Structure 1
Amino acid sequence: MLARDVMTSSVVSVKPDTTVHDLAALLVQHRISAAPVVDEDKRVIGMISEGDLLRRDEIDTEKKPHRRSWWLEMVGTDRGAGAYIRSHARTVGELMTREPVCVDEDATLADIASILESHHIKRVPVLRQGRLIGIVSRSNIVQALASAVAEESLPGSSTSDAEIRTMLMGKLAGRDWAFPGRNIVVRDGVVHLWGAMWSSDQLDAMRIAAQRIPGVRSVEDHTVPYPIMPGI
């Protein structure tokens, strides 16, 4: 399987001039922990995550300075400046990790797994001709593995898994109840739905949309109810 077969295509990205406060709101709104940073041409120039927002002056989590050795004072190698930037930066461009690791849409899952492991990262942007088209996370790979194990014995289909997924994403595009490209894996003609669902109607609509795609053998539901916070 390739990156394009499992990637989340409905990627939430931000610009370098996005404010830190707007970024925090986006992460909460879309229930994600990180986002690619792109320029005007959709080229990835950085990555920003919730980890970059942990030490902030606004919420009194700024890392407190400690007494420095006299020789650090002399040579000027103290890292206090970096900590100050992380806690006081106003825009994503001032906080983001620059020159992030990216993969092409034709990258194999084996290559992506190696990249995630060797770079100690949880996700990687997917590019087509240098422009952002999706993102592959560790959970996408685990979902692909679970789907492959479940369907190892099924015979092949005349319609490829990639074609089925593309057609399904096309049917779901623009529908508020759907999540095109997010937590959808197609293996041997079986559509696997993952993630959290708000309602049984949402799940039924997803299942019906998938079953109408030529070549789909069945739809497997791996979703869980979306957690509701107490008091809401």
Structure 2
Amino acid sequence: MRVADVMTRNVVSVTPQATLSQAIDAMVRAHISGLPVIAEDGRLAGILSEGDLLRRPELGTEKPRASWFSALFKAGHLAQAYAQTHGRRVDDIMTRDVVIVDQNERIEEAVLLMEQHGIKRLPVVEDGRVIGLLSRADLVRVLAEFLRQPYEEQPVGDNAILAAIQAELEAQPWAPAGSIRMEVHNGVVELSGAITDENQRNAVRIIAENTPGVQSVRDNLLWIEPMTGIVLTSSETSDGTKPT
């Protein structure tokens, strides 16, 4: 999947000369937490987000005044910080060093950029002009669409279910595939064997539940403490009840 498949194309934006109150009004009306700042020639000038508005004297949240020592050696930096926290125009407040993404980039790479830079949105730029915006909300929206889609209705045999679960277990480095046994009868998966970490239990159950054709999962896995060999847990079914 590419960025162009997910991004928002009708982008709410402001100009650098807009007042801060105008920008905030636009964010509130559109129910968004940030928006690109676009110059008159259509090129990206910056981005304004809620994070840029956290330190404000109106809120009583500005940082404590710097010491005379810092003021002596960091006057330019402190002046810039003052302008950003006290300015009333978008170009005084906005973040100018913006991380952007191309519309043909893979979604995986876009998410990596968000994680690396600790940001919630990426302007999608082509020839210097904003053609869209990719935000976390866009990704969540697409995820919701996938989750609402039912599994294929065509019947899936027990052997195919067993093979699919086993293949997924073997593909996961954390999964003790060799110590887990499985049986499938009419779509009901019976898990047995041993795990050495209780966190593996939920992950193994999710693998089984996400496999097309599975009706329910019975968890008979034993959690064995690796240092002592003591069994620390009892079995449950996928709906949280004890098997009969």
TM-score, normalised to structure 2's length? 0.55
Aligned length: 153
Aligned pair 1:143/2:155, yes or no?
no
Q: CA deviation at 1:130?
A: 2.8
- What is the aligned partner in structure 2 of residue 179 from structure 1? none
Q: C-alpha deviations, 1:84-119, integer Å up to 9, x for none?
A: 212321211111111311111111111111110111
Q: 1:83 to 1:128 in 2, by over 3 A?
A: closer
Alpha-carbon displacement from aligned partner over 1:5-31 (angstroms, at most 9, x marks no partner): 111111101111011111111111111
Partner of 1:191: none
TM-aligned CA deviation for residue 41 of structure 1: 2.5
Shift of 1:51: 2.1
Map residues 1-232 of structure 1 onto 2, 5 A cutoff. 1-57=1-57, 59-63=58-62, 65-66=64-65, 68=67, 70=69, 72-76=70-74, 79-151=77-149
Which residue type is aligned with residue 32 of structure 1?
I
Matched letter for residue 138 of structure 1 = R
After superposition, what is the alpha-carbon deviation per residue over 1:52-79, rounded to whole angstroms, capped at 9, x for unaligned? 223333x242515345163x34423685
Quick one: structure 1 residues 143 and 31, their matched pair in 2 at CA, closer, same or farther if it must change by over 3 Å?
closer
Q: SS of the residue aligned with 2:24?
A: helix
Q: Of the two, which has the highest radius of gyration?
A: 2
Task: Tell me the SS of whatever aligns to 1:105.
Answer: coil
* Percentage of identical aligned residues: 38
TM-score of the aligned structures, taking structure 1 as reference length: 0.58
- The question of whether the paired residues in 2 share the 8 Å contact of 1:54 and 1:61 is answered with no
Q: Give the whole-Å Cα distance in 2 for the aligned partners of 1:26 and 1:74.
A: 39
- What is the one-letter code of the residue matched to 1:33? S
Q: Deviations over 1:108-151 (max 9, x none)?
A: 11111111011110010112333211111112223323433554
Asked if 2 retains the 8 angstrom alpha-carbon contact of 1:65 and 1:80, the reply is no
The alpha-carbon distance between structure 1 residues 67 and 33, as it changes in their structure 2 partners (threshold 3 A), is closer
Whether the 8 Å CA contact 2:52–2:95 is kept in 1: the answer is: no
- Give the partner amino acid of 2:108: A
How far apart, in 1, do the equivalents of 2:19 and 2:111 lie? Answer: 32
Distance 1:80 1:99, change over 3 A: closer
RMSD (CA atoms): 2.5
Task: Give 1:83 deviation, angstroms.
Answer: 3.5
Gaps of 5+ in 1: 156-232
Q: Which amino acid aligns with 1:19?
A: T
Answer yes or no: is the 8 Å Cα contact 1:62–1:87 preserved in 2.
no
| In 2: Cα distance, 1:66 partner to 1:90 partner | 20
Q: What secondary structure is seen at the aligned counterpart in 2 of 1:104? A: coil
Residue 106 of structure 1 aligns to a residue whose secondary structure is coil
Q: Which runs of 5+ in 2 are unaligned?
A: 154-244
Match of 2:204 in 1: none
